[in-house]
Structure formats: C-alpha cells, structure tokens
Chain A
Amino acid sequence: MRPVYMISGGITKFAKANPEKDFRLMVKESFDYAMDDLPRLNREMIDGSVCSYFSDHFTRQLKAGAMVQDYLGFCPKPSKRIEGGGATGGLCFQSAWEAVASGRMEVCVAMGFETMSRVNTWKGNEFIAYASDTNFDYPVGGFYTGYYAMMVQRHMFEFGTTVEQMAMVAIKNHANALYNAYAQSPGKLTIEDVRSSPLVATPLTRLDCCTMSDGAAVAILASEDFAKRLCHRPIRITGVGCGTDAMRMADRPHKEVILLPHETEADYRDLKYPGVHSFRGGRMAAKLAYRMAGINNPLNELDFVELHDAYTSSEIQTYEDLGLCRYGEGGSFVQAGAPFMTNLDYGLTFISGHWKHIPVNPSGGLLACGHPVGATGLMQAVFAFWQLQGTIEKHLKNNILQVPNAKRGLIHSHAGTGTYITVTIMESSP
C-alpha cells in the first residue's frame, strides 16, 4: 500500500429541501468548489470516481451514480457506487482510499449525495427503516429512532446516563453550527428546550435526533506524488478501519469488551458486551484505524473528532466505542465539558472531570448540519480536511470553529443500529 492524501473537498449547504437542484447538480457544485480550491488540479488528472448514496427509494432512480458520472464529465473513466446505510459516505471515502493506495488510480474523486425531501418525513422514516430486517424488525413497528431509543434505555440502565447529559450534546452541536454556514439547523438551545421538544420515542425528543436533508459532498484523494505536486497542504490518511455487527439488535452477543491499547480487562470485569448499549462495530473500526495510524491513546493523540451523531445518545455511545473515555463514562465525559469547544459559551456549567478537551463535532455534526445520508460521511471528511489544513476561516468565513494547531483528526461514519461503521484518521504533514 502506498500513502494516500486528501487534496481538496467541497460541500453544498445542507437544507431540508432543495428542489431547485437535482442530485447531479448538487454533486457538480461540490465538485466545482473542490476544483476551484485546487487550481493546479485539472480534469484530465482525475482517474475515476466512487459515488456514495444510500437509498434508491429516495432518489426514485436506480444507477443514479452513473448519472452523476456523466453529468460531471467523467465518462468513460472508471466508477462504482458504494452503499452501506448511514456509513455510505465513510465507506465511499475508504473505497477511494483503496483505489489510490492500491495504485489503481493516482487521483480519485469520492462524491456523495442524498435528496431526502422528495418524500414526506413519515415516508422517509419508512425508507430508512427498510434498512432493518424486513422479516423480523420492520413489521413490528420499524422506526430507527425507536431502535436507538431502546439502545439508550439500556445504556441508561447499565451506566446511569441521563437525558440531561444527552441534551448537552444537542446544545453543543447546534451551538457549534452557528458558525458553520453549511449547516441546516444551527441554534442556541438549553436543556429545557431539548427536553420540552416533542417526544419521538422515549426518551428521545425531536432535538435528540438529526433531520433529513438534501445535500452533496466531494472529497478528492491522490497519491503522494500528485498530492505534493498539486496541493500546498495535502492531508494524509494514516488509518482506516471498519467494523460490523448483526443486522438485528436482538442478535447482538453479551460477551467481553474488545479492548483498545490503553485499556485492560480489569476495566470491564462485569460488563456484558456489546449487548444493545454499545456499538461493537465502532470499537472494531477504531481498533483497526488506531493500529494502522499507530495511535495508542486516542484522547491524548487526537486533536478533534467528527463523529456520526444521528442521535445525542449515539454520540455518547460513540465516545466510548472510540475510547475517548471508558465504556460507561460517556455521559460524564460530556457533562465534564470534554467534547466542547473551549472558545464558545454554551450557557452550561460543567462538572470537573479528568479528561482533556477534545472538540467533538466542531462542525455541528449530523444533529445540526443535517444528514443527507450519502453525503454525510464525506461532509465529515471535508470539515476534517479544512481543520487540518487550517483553512476553516477561508471556507466558513470565520475562524471560530478552527481547532488551534489541529494535527490529527478522526472521522466516524455509522450505519443501521451499528451494522457498518468506519473510522478514518487524517493527519496534516509536518
């Protein structure tokens, strides 16, 4: 395998509905943004693409990727579609990495989109629930928020996690997004706002959940030779990992924790794992990515994280899967303020904790940016790329969300109830 770099990226503003543009045009706009940001890259240098979108139902079009390929003028170069539920974008990014790492391509475009406004929200919930077992899960009342609600009920039971801790995640991500013009629903919230918004599935309220969106994102990856020639500050992809779990939550085992290098068996003597309270696939993805990147203690060795916060609860669960804190400590981790930006006032009082600060979802995450599924994982890559380049101010027109001296970041993409999960480590070059 040879080194792979991200050399440019672009995104559209995520919106509840963007009927003026179809999926092809949205990807084209993201791609043009990425091309404008890297003038030395010309179209002839692009060897091919990988296209990411989740649902043929939402698109009302099979093989939509082929239409993006021709709209962008990439024919007859190679391309393929990647689909893996909510992790579609993260899997697409890793597929582009594989294309370059293997030597098959010098420059590969990872491009993703989703147009979810084309059906009403109830129908959209139904489409998403088709990504659960349609014999045994969907017919019982298929609804993803319901599945996540059951998982966090168990997390609360096992570890004492509270709805107020979950609300703090919503406050953080919506407040961060106030400085991100690409975000769909920035806002200044209080714990009271989150808890008094309509109940969706106990204990999750509407503000505990991300929204459906229309949007697109593009990440351009290249070999070292091309990266050094074309880009002032290429960002190296130093670790990729992916993990999985059983489609049906009911089938998850209750066994031993998969340990990260900084953990020991003694940390989890009585914990049955993963059950339905944790994401074994996320832990596996992190373990593999950390091994490749040479990370031994993620909290100390990462500067920021962009993770898949489809729900406030799943952000807390994911802190633990990624080893930012131990299993069971996710609620305290957020209550101690560890994942908050240090330069923003969230209107919250934090308890003392022993964790160092690590901004999680400085962009606003899915909760505030929106979640156009096939674009989401690539959107995270673009924000991480800008963070590591130190170009947040250039792209967001303000530097509030720029993590100072960000050298190494993690992006995390998550599908189903944890069925496919990717973790990718990105680093700025010295």
Chain B
Amino acid sequence: MKKDVRLPETLEGTVLFNVDPIIIKYHYEVDYIHSYAQDSLFFAGLTKKKLLGSRCAGCCYTYATPRGHCMECGAKTEWFELPLEGKVHTFTTCYFGGEEFLKETPFTLILVEFEGVNTLFLSRLIGMEPAQMRIGLAVKARFLRNCKFRPTDIYFVPA
C-alpha cells in the first residue's frame, strides 16, 4: 500500500461560459462503421451514373427511392433503372439549416417525380433562381465524378 500518491496534474482546461450556474463546453464526436446493407447497390449504381429504384416482384408497385421490401404487399423488390429525367413534384430553397449544411445555404431541395413510377425521390437542384422555381419543371440528373457514396452523388438541373 502507498499512501503518499497523487494523480498527475495536467494543463488541459475547460472552456467556461458562465459560473452561476456553471456552464461548460462539452465536446462529443463519433465515427460510425455504417453499412448501407441491402441498399448498397443504389450507391454503387450512382458511381456508374445509374439511378436505381425498386420494383415489387409481387404487385409491381414502383419506388423511386429504394427499399428491399414492398410497403404495399410485403414482397421482395427487384432493382430497376429509373429514367434520368423527371419533373419537380415540389420544392423549397433553404436559407437556414442544420450545422452540417449551413455553409451550403441557400440550397434548393426538390422531390422528383418520374413518369410511371409510384413514389418520389429527394434531391438537390442547381441552376435555377429560387424565384423561378415551380412545380412541374422538367429536370434531368447529373452525377458527381468523384463519388462520395452519398445520395448527393446525384443531383438535378433544369432539363
């Protein structure tokens, strides 16, 4: 047993904002080992300039955003290639946002509708002034050359 022991002192401090009550800065950060799992082929498709959706093998319902199983009947879906042109179903231009995207504001979000496909696809649109945006606008897909394996590897411009 040692009784004459002490923890070593360090020069690291704490960021203090206030003393009554005491308010300090507390840092928190995490890296995930994230798997796209059954949706992986969608992201792989973007690297080949393909936009992949899901078609139900049972009831033929079609999804512009992929899902492994059908919401309508529960059957497994198959991959199919979506057209690279569509129409703006709805839109907004964001002037504020979450911290991660603040530096990108203003940016325009659209839900794209594709001919004959039952559901929509969320994406960014560039090349239009916010005041010129309208529902029904014809748009076409573009792809990033240097893929980041994120849904933003595809984006849309006016057709």
A interface, CB within 8 angstroms of B: 19-20, 60, 120, 122-123, 125-126, 128-129, 135-137, 139-143, 145-146, 149-151, 153-154, 157, 198-204, 246, 248-254, 276
CB nearest to B64 among chain A residues? A250
B64, A126: Cβ atoms under 8 Å? no
Give B98-116 as 1s and 0s: 1 = Cβ < 8 Å from A's Cβ atoms. Answer: 1111101001011100000
B90, A251: Cβ atoms under 8 Å? no
A251 to B61, CA, bound (A): 11
B94, A143: Cβ atoms under 8 Å? yes
Q: B21, B90, B95: which contacts A200 (Cβ < 8 A)?
A: B95
B interface, CB within 8 angstroms of A: 18, 21, 23, 26, 28, 36, 39, 63-65, 67, 71-72, 89-102, 104, 107, 109-111, 118-124, 130, 133, 135, 150-152
Known interface pairs A154-B135, A253-B118; A140-B123 also in contact (CB < 8 Å): yes
B92, A201: Cβ atoms under 8 Å? yes
A139 to B123, CA, bound (A): 10
Q: A139, A200, A246, A249: which contacts B150 (Cβ < 8 A)?
A: A139
Known interface pairs A19-B21, A153-B90, A251-B71; A199-B65 also in contact (CB < 8 Å): no
- Which chain B positions have C-beta within 8 A of A128? 98
B21, A20: Cβ atoms under 8 Å? yes
Which among B26, B71, B97 has the greatest number of chain A C-beta atoms within 10 A? B97
B97, A140: Cβ atoms under 8 Å? no
Q: B18, B36, B71, B100: which contacts A246 (Cβ < 8 A)?
A: B71
A202 to B152, CA, bound (A): 21
A203 to B151, CA, bound (A): 25
CB nearest to B112 among chain A residues? A250
Which among A129, A143, A198 has the greatest number of chain B C-beta atoms within 10 A? A143
Would you give the shortest CB distance from A60 to chain B, in whole angstroms?
7
- Which chain B positions have C-beta within 8 A of A202? 92-93, 130, 133
Chain B's interface: helix, strand, loop or mixed, by majority? mixed
Would you give the shortest CB distance from A152 to chain B, in whole angstroms?
9
A276, B99: Cβ atoms under 8 Å? no
Would you give the shortest CB distance from B134 to chain A, in whole angstroms?
9
- Which chain A positions have C-beta within 8 A of B72? 253
Known interface pairs A139-B151, A246-B71; A150-B111 also in contact (CB < 8 Å): yes
B151, A254: Cβ atoms under 8 Å? no
B93, A250: Cβ atoms under 8 Å? no
Known interface pairs A60-B26, A136-B122, A251-B67; A145-B94 also in contact (CB < 8 Å): yes
- Which chain B positions have C-beta within 8 A of A120? 99
- Which chain A positions have C-beta within 8 A of B92? 146, 149-150, 153, 201-204
Which among A139, A140, A154 has the greatest number of chain B C-beta atoms within 10 A? A140
Would you give the shortest CB distance from B9 to chain A, in whole angstroms?
27
B95, A248: Cβ atoms under 8 Å? no
A140, B99: Cβ atoms under 8 Å? no
- Which chain A positions have C-beta within 8 A of B119? 250-253
A19, B151: Cβ atoms under 8 Å? no
Known interface pairs A129-B98, A135-B39; A19-B109 also in contact (CB < 8 Å): no
B18, A199: Cβ atoms under 8 Å? no
A253 to B28, CA, bound (A): 39
- Which chain B positions have C-beta within 8 A of A126? 98-100
A143 to B102, CA, bound (A): 10
- Which chain A positions have C-beta within 8 A of B99? 120, 122-123, 125-126
CB nearest to A203 among chain B residues? B92
CB nearest to A277 among chain B residues? B90
- Other A-B contacts than A125-B97, A126-B98, A140-B109, 16 sampled, CB-CB below 8 A, are A123-B98, A135-B36, A135-B39, A135-B151, A137-B122, A139-B150, A140-B151, A141-B97, A141-B101, A146-B92, A146-B109, A157-B90, A199-B93, A199-B95, A204-B92, A276-B89
A250 to B102, CA, bound (A): 23
A157, B94: Cβ atoms under 8 Å? no
A198, B101: Cβ atoms under 8 Å? no
A152 to B122, CA, bound (A): 16
Would you give the shortest CB distance from B80 to chain A, in whole angstroms?
16
A276 to B112, CA, bound (A): 12
A276, B90: Cβ atoms under 8 Å? yes
Would you give the shortest CB distance from A69 to chain B, in whole angstroms?
23
- Which chain B positions have C-beta within 8 A of A142? 97-98, 100-101
Would you give the shortest CB distance from B148 to chain A, in whole angstroms?
9
A136, B96: Cβ atoms under 8 Å? no
CB nearest to B32 among chain A residues? A134
A120 to B98, CA, bound (A): 10
Q: Which 10 A-B pairs have the closest CB atoms?
A: A126-B98, A149-B92, A122-B99, A250-B120, A154-B90, A143-B97, A125-B98, A150-B90, A146-B94, A201-B94
A135 to B65, CA, bound (A): 11
Q: B65, B95, B101: which contacts A136 (Cβ < 8 A)?
A: B65
